[in-house]
Amino acid sequence: MKPYTPAELMVVAAAREIKDGEVVFVGMRLPLIAFAVAKRLHAPDAIGFFENGVVRDAPSASLLYTMGDPPNIEGAAQCSSMTTVMGLMQKGEVDLGFLGGAEVDKYGNINTSYVGDPYSPEVKLPGSGGAADIASLARRFVVIIEHNSRRLVERVSYITSPGNGEGAHWRANE
């Protein structure tokens, strides 16, 4: 038997985080595959939200390159707007969100803004998009990133999406 890849291991670990009946802010690439695996193996009643307003009760049968691809729209349980799905998250209706980032620290804080000195960054990044909302409003979130010392850091260069900030009891709801 061929050994599994790190990406395959992350997909399986992420799929195991999805519980049956949960509402999951899915995203693309590995989180999308994790959602499909969970639906097939142990969470048939999980619901997937996409940032563009698509809500799916079953993964698309076709390969998706972007969340707005026609196969993601076809067969969707609902096609609304980003405002609608973000509003549902603000109402507390999202159990789990999947996120990525350039850096994540031991407190779960995510950096997608810049790496290095803020006045002269080594790398400029695209920013939060909806990730800060997902990190703040989903009941819990999972970060799926490549595991290496440049990405898993002691402290992120900048907290774009908050995990637990400075540590225990940093979040208002704890």
Q: Which residues are catalytic?
A: 51
Other CB atoms within a 10 A radius of the CB of residue 115 amount to 17
The DSSP-derived string for 6-72 is HHHHHHHHHHHHPPTT-EEE--SSHHHHHHHHHHHHT-TT-EEE-TTSEEESS--SS--SSTTSHHH
Cα distance between residue 111 and residue 152, in whole Å: 11
Tell me the HSE value of 154 on the side-chain side, using a 13 A CA sphere. 0
Cα distance between residue 51 and residue 129, in whole Å: 9
For CA atoms 23, 125, 120, 103, the dihedral sign is positive
Residue 83 DSSP symbol: H
Q: Which two tokens stand for residue 15?
A: 């799929």
